[in-house]
């Protein structure tokens, strides 16, 4: 399963040069996307099976590097599905090291998360402009994203328009945040974070249950990604009935792109 970040693609700034394409006549046969997350850049892409081992993706990678799109990035991470033999072969033609591993998980329809409860300890409300500092603080704590990057993204006219952004509250106080992106019949949970001082009291589970129940009511499947070494979050999701579906490997790029890289 290739992670395409549809919510970002749908809201690209007009004229941006973060996507690279190769066409055979009018058919798209290879594609490379660049995504900025704070100081880091993530790269993913694909080549049509009939056009592999022709150097097309290597060429797109070189075009991206030559365009300067990676300049100023703290890290450049290449996202490769563990199950993609061609992707795993290609990544080892570059100077990279494994940076992190991410699990893709789907909520089982019979998971305990959807069991009814008498009273929810958390409540949800929609994001408001004055919540931006809260968003920035939680992103910095949970995801190591500089507060300035989050504030800039929230103020952009081409910001996260496709996401439903919830503030998690407890007894009238902001306690965390959770975002949902709906894609066809799939709803993806992003940016889920609880204030460190309020963790361990069930607020995250309560908020997650309410979001999942609403998405299920709309006929949606509920999906999320979690970093493999985030034991607290992984335990929460597994105990709620989320089931592993796929593994994404993130490789950190450590060199200048070489035109002599193996043809893929």
- pLDDT (tens digit per residue) in 240-252: 889 999 999 999 9
- Tell me the pLDDT of the chain averaged across its residues: 87
Beta strands in the chain (DSSP E): 19-24, 27-37, 40-47, 75-81, 96-107, 123-126, 163-170, 173-183, 186-194, 221-227, 242-253
Output the pLDDT for position 263.
41
**Residue 56 structure tokens:** 């097309």
Confirm if 88 and 101 have CB atoms less than 8 A apart.
Answer: no
- Which residue, among 207, 185, 184, 181, has the nearest Cα to 195 in the 3D structure? 207
What are the φ and ψ backbone dihedral angles of 249, each rounded to 5 degrees? -100, 135
Examine the pLDDT at 187 and tell me if it is beyond 50. Answer: yes
Q: With cut-offs at 50, 70 and 90, classify the pLDDT of residue 7.
A: low
- The pLDDT assigned to 168 comes to 97
Q: Which uninterrupted H or E stretch holds 20?
A: strand 19-24
Average pLDDT over residues 161-165: 77
Report pLDDT for 259.
39
CA angle 27, 54, 95 (to 5 degrees): 115
Q: Which range (9-13, 173-177, 225-229) has the least confidence? A: 9-13
Q: Two tokens at 12?
A: 């690209």
Q: What is the pLDDT of residues 21-47, one digit of tens each?
A: 999 999 999 999 998 887 889 999 999
Among 158-162, 205-209, 260-264, name the one with the lowest average pLDDT: 260-264
pTM given for the model: 0.81
pLDDT at 105 over 70: yes
- Give yes or no for residue 159 having a pLDDT over 60: no
pLDDT for 257 beyond 50: no
**Per-residue pLDDT averaged across 90-103, rounded?**
93
- Structure token pair of residue 232: 């607290």
Q: Are the CB atoms for 14 and 156 separated by under 8 Å?
A: no
Reading the block at residue 69, the tokens are 């799109």
Separation CA 190–CA 225 (nearest Å): 8
pLDDT band at residue 261 under the 50/70/90 scheme: very low
């Amino acid at each position: 399963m290739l992670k395409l970040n549809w919510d970002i693609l749908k809201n690209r700034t007009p004229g941006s040069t973060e996507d690279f394409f190769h066409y055979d006549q009018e058919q798209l046969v290879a594609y490379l996307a660049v995504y900025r997350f704070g100081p880091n850049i993530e790269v993913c892409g694909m080549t049509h099976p009939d056009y592999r081992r022709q150097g097309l993706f290597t060429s797109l990678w070189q075009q991206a590097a030559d365009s300067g799109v990676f300049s100023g990035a703290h890290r450049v991470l290449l996202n490769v599905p563990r199950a993609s033999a061609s992707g795993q072969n290609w990544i080892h033609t570059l100077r990279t090291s494994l940076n992190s591993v991410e699990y893709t998980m789907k909520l089982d329809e019979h998971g305990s998360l959807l069991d009814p409860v008498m009273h929810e300890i958390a409540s949800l409300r929609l994001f408001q402009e004055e919540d931006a500092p809260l968003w920035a603080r939680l992103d910095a704590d949970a995801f190591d994203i500089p507060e300035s990057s989050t504030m800039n993204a929230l103020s952009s006219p081409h910001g996260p328009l496709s996401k439903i952004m919830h503030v998690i509250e407890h007894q009238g106080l902001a306690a965390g945040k959770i975002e949902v992106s709906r894609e066809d019949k799939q709803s993806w949970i992003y940016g889920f974070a609880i204030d460190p001082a309020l963790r361990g009291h069930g607020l995250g589970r309560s908020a997650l249950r309410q979001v999942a129940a609403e998405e299920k009511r709309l006929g949606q499947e509920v999906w999320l990604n979690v970093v493999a070494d985030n034991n607290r979050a992984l335990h929460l999701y597994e105990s709620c009935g989320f089931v592993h579906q796929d593994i994404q490997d993130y490789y950190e790029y450590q060199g200048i792109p070489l035109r002599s890289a193996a043809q893929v």
